[in-house]
Chain A
Amino acid sequence: MSVVQGTDQGEVIETDVVIIGAGPVGLFAVFELGLLDIKAHLIDILDKPGGQCAELYPEKPIYDIPALPEVSGQGLTDRLLEQIKPFDPAFHFNERVDRLKRLEDGRYELETDAGTIFRAKVVVIAAGGGSFTPKRPPLKDIEKFEGKSVFYTVRRMEEFRDRDVLIVGGGDSALDWVLSLQPIAKSMTLMHRRDDFRAAPHSVQQMRALVGAEKMRLVIGQVSELKGNDGLLASATVKTKTGEETVVCDRLLPFFGLTMKLGPVADWGLNLHENLVPVDTEKFETSEGGIFAIGDINTYPGKLKLILSGFHEAALMARKAHSYIHPDKKLLFQYTTSSSSLQKKLGVRD
Chain B
Amino acid sequence: MAKVTFKQPDGTETTVEAAAGVTVMEAAKINLMSGIEAECGGACACATCHVYIDANWVEKTGKPNEMEEDMLDFAFDVRETSRLSCQIKISDELDGLVVEVPEKQF
Contact = CB atoms under 8 A, between A and B. Distances in A.
B81 to A, nearest CB: 14
Interface string A56-82: 110010000000000000000000000
Contacts of B103: 138
B73 A192 contact: yes
Given A56-B45, A57-B40, A259 B106 contact: yes
A115 interface: no
A161 to B, nearest CB: 28
Interface in B72-99: 72-74, 76-78
B104 interface: yes
B70 interface: yes
Contacts of B76: 137-138, 222, 256
Contacts of A156: none
Given A60-B45, A138-B76, A192-B73, A259 B39 contact: yes
B43 A193 contact: no
B43 A171 contact: no
A194 B46 CA distance: 19
Interface string B37-55: 0011001011100000000
B73 A57 contact: no
A141 B76 CA distance: 16
Given A135-B106, A138-B104, A259-B106, A57 B74 contact: no
Interface string A125-147: 00000000001111000000000
A182 to B, nearest CB: 21
A186 to B, nearest CB: 27
Contact of B77 (A135, A196, A222): A222
B90 to A, nearest CB: 22
B9 to A, nearest CB: 12
Contacts of B74: 135, 256-257
B73 A171 contact: yes
Interface in A264-322: none
Interface in A104-136: 135-136
A135 B75 CA distance: 10
Interface string B54-81: 0000000000000001101110111000
Contacts of B69: 194, 196
Given A56-B45, A57-B43, A57-B45, A193 B78 contact: yes
B78 A222 contact: yes
A198 B77 contact: no
Nearest to B72: A193
Interface string A34-75: 000000000000000000000011001000000000000000
A169 interface: yes
A60 B40 CA distance: 12
A131 to B, nearest CB: 15
Interface of B: 39-40, 43, 45-47, 69-70, 72-74, 76-78, 103-104, 106
25 contacts: A56-B40, A56-B46, A57-B40, A57-B45, A60-B45, A135-B74, A135-B106, A137-B76, A138-B103, A138-B106, A171-B73, A192-B73, A193-B72, A193-B73, A193-B78, A194-B69, A196-B69, A198-B73, A222-B76, A224-B77, A256-B74, A256-B76, A256-B106, A259-B39, A259-B46
The 7 A-B pairs with the shortest beta carbon distances in the complex, nearest first, are: A138-B104, A257-B74, A56-B45, A170-B73, A198-B70, A57-B45, A193-B78
Given A136-B106, A138-B104, A169-B73, 4 more contacts: A56-B46, A137-B76, A193-B73, A222-B76
